[in-house]
């Protein structure tokens, strides 16, 4: 069996469900594996049971550094929903089953094998190739990359980085594209608060019902729309798929003409999105609510600010008796499309599948990449290519039951990571 598949099986069998994480076991497994290949390793831990591993293949010191970035924690798995043991790491029909197979112990294993195999071959780059297996990405409570960047910046500083986030193969208009995430939207949720006056619900007229007052605002939020705009990632995507980027107002129709999937991919990227998801009013059935809070999931484009989002929301809702509060800002960073890492992605795709092309993408969620972009200006992409597993099937398995990865995709990803190291740090 392939070295990557074997290492993945071992990683899956270590339960690193976060919370509580307990990633140290995974960090130690990877350290032992890498040290056996002669790779320099160090564990960094804010608390003993939540270690991060940083391994380094030293370069000659006259070129850029590349970080292979990953996380070792996983989300909860309920064995009752699974057809196989989520922590069994079984190989079934060419696929390794288990929590983390896709998100993202598969890439962890491939990154470790990329470093170990390069070290065994005696390969040496111009700059360092660094492997970061961070704890605590899924919860982000301050034990993982954020903490490393703040407390041990020299250990994780890099010019370029490859992380999770994309790499899926999609067929659009008869041609295959591999998506490479070069940017991430910002999560910028708001709370809409409406105030009224409580009273006994048996006499509706004596109070001022905040829930009822919130209803028209909620309905209005459900209709939210903005003038479309073309961010560089969507322009680059359309350029790859259509040969040129149409004006923003025609982008959606032009994408749909090629394929419904192309339209689906760019639709949430043409502007900020707004989706009310939670509501809270009275705690008691017989008490008229004096306040009502609607939580609104808002995703804004990289480059936009929560302040701009608030202005857009207020303009959409109009004047009224409500409060609007931004409660979080996460992600929303981008790296330029182009340069040595982009060239490595593009040349790998052309080599592996003649006729196919790489296409940039901005993803709706965010990954640990933003810590590196913000701290060091790292050019960070989400790219772990896959083609054996259908991208729509993969999307349904991540954070869900029966997560599994084809061994062929692990090997495919491994080839890319080795190619990236050899070209970026040539």
- Which residues in this chain contact Zn ion in the complex, by CB under 5 A? 103-104, 164
Q: Output the smallest distance, CB 103 to Zn ion, in A.
A: 4
Angle CA(371)–CA(374)–CA(380) in degrees, nearest 5? 70
> What is the maximal distance between C-alpha atoms in the chain?
82
Give the C-alpha separation, 321 to 213, whole Å: 9
Give the C-alpha separation, 273 to 301, whole Å: 9
127 versus 332: smaller Cβ distance to Zn ion: 332
Backbone angles phi, psi at 330, to 5 degrees: -140, 130
Q: Which residue has the tokens 């705009």?
A: 229
103 versus 128: smaller Cβ distance to Zn ion: 103
16 versus 335: smaller Cβ distance to Zn ion: 16
Q: Output the smallest distance, CB 75 to Zn ion, in A.
A: 9
Q: Output the smallest distance, CB 99 to Zn ion, in A.
A: 11
165 versus 302: smaller Cβ distance to Zn ion: 165
Give the C-alpha separation, 291 to 281, whole Å: 6
Give the C-alpha separation, 249 to 78, whole Å: 44
95 versus 103: smaller Cβ distance to Zn ion: 103
Q: Output the smallest distance, CB 322 to Zn ion, in A.
A: 36
Q: Output the smallest distance, CB 137 to Zn ion, in A.
A: 6
Q: Output the smallest distance, CB 181 to Zn ion, in A.
A: 12
Residue pair 210/291 in contact by the 8 Å Cβ criterion: yes
Q: Which helix (H) or strand (E) holds 186?
A: strand 186-187
* Cβ contacts of 79 within 8 Å, gap of 6 or more: 85, 86
159 versus 368: smaller Cβ distance to Zn ion: 368
* Cβ contacts of 310 within 8 Å, gap of 6 or more: 190, 324, 326
| 232-271 CB burial, b ≥16 within 10 A, e <16 | bbbbbbbbbbbeebbebeebbebbeebbeebbebbeebbb
Give the C-alpha separation, 249 to 253, whole Å: 8
Calculate the CA 394 to chain-centre distance.
14
* 4 preceded by a cis bond (ω within 30 of 0): no
Q: Which residue has the tokens 């599948």?
A: 353
164 versus 168: smaller Cβ distance to Zn ion: 164
Residue pair 63/124 in contact by the 8 Å Cβ criterion: no
Looking at beta carbons, which residue is closest to Zn ion? Answer: 103
* Burial (CB count <10 Å: 0-12, 13-18, 19+), residue 374: middle
Q: Output the smallest distance, CB 41 to Zn ion, in A.
A: 22
195 versus 399: smaller Cβ distance to Zn ion: 399
63 versus 140: smaller Cβ distance to Zn ion: 140
Going 92 to 98 to 104 to 110, the CA torsion angle's sign is: negative
Q: What is residue 57's three-state secondary structure?
A: strand
324 versus 398: smaller Cβ distance to Zn ion: 398
Q: Output the smallest distance, CB 26 to Zn ion, in A.
A: 14
Q: Output the smallest distance, CB 139 to Zn ion, in A.
A: 11
Residue pair 201/287 in contact by the 8 Å Cβ criterion: yes
313 versus 361: smaller Cβ distance to Zn ion: 361
Q: Output the smallest distance, CB 218 to Zn ion, in A.
A: 32
Q: Output the smallest distance, CB 239 to Zn ion, in A.
A: 28
């Amino acid at each position: 069996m392939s070295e990557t598949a074997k290492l993945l099986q071992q990683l899956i069998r270590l339960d690193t469900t976060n919370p509580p994480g307990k990633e140290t076991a995974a960090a130690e497994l990877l350290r032992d594996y890498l040290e056996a290949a002669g790779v320099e390793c160090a564990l960094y831990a804010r608390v003993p049971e939540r270690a991060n591993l940083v391994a380094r293949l030293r370069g000659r010191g006259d070129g850029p550094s590349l970080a292979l970035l990953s996380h070792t924690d996983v989300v909860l798995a309920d064995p009752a929903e699974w057809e196989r043991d989520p922590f069994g790491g079984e190989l079934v029909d060419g696929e390794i089953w288990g929590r983390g197979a896709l998100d993202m112990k598969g890439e962890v294993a491939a990154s470790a094998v990329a470093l170990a195999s390069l070290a065994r071959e005696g390969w040496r780059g111009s700059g360092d190739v660094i492997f970061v297996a961070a704890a605590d990405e899924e919860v982000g409570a301050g034990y993982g990359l954020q903490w490393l960047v703040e407390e041990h910046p020299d250990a994780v500083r890099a010019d370029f980085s490859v992380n999770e986030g994309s790499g899926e193969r999609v067929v659009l208009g008869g041609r295959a594209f591999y998506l490479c995430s070069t940017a991430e939207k910002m999560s910028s949720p708001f709370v809409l608060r409406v105030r009224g006056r409580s009273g006994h619900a048996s006499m509706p007229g004596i109070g001022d019902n905040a829930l009822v007052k919130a209803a028209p605002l909620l309905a209005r939020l459900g209709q939210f729309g903005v003038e479309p705009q073309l961010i560089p990632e969507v322009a680059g995507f359309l350029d790859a798929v259509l040969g040129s980027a149409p004006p923003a107002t025609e982008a959606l129709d032009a994408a749909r003409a090629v394929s419904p999937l192309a339209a689906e991919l760019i639709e949430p990227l043409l502007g900020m999105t707004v989706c009310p998801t939670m509501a809270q009013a009275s705690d008691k059935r017989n008490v008229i609510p004096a306040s009502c809070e609607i939580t609104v999931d808002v995703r804004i484009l990289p480059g936009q600010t929560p302040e701009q989002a608030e202005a857009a929301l207020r303009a959409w809702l109009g004047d009224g008796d409500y409060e609007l509060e931004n409660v979080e800002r996460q992600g929303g960073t981008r790296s330029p499309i182009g340069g040595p890492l982009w060239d490595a992605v593009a040349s790998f795709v052309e080599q592996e599948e003649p006729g196919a092309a790489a296409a940039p993408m901005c993803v709706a969620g965010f990954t640990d990449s933003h810590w590196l972009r913000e701290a060091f200006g790292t050019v960070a992409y989400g790219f772990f290519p896959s083609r054996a597993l259908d991208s729509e099937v993969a999307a349904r398995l991540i954070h869900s039951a029966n997560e599994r990865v084809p061994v062929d995709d692990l090997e495919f990803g491994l080839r890319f990571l080795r190619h990236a190291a050899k070209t970026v740090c040539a």
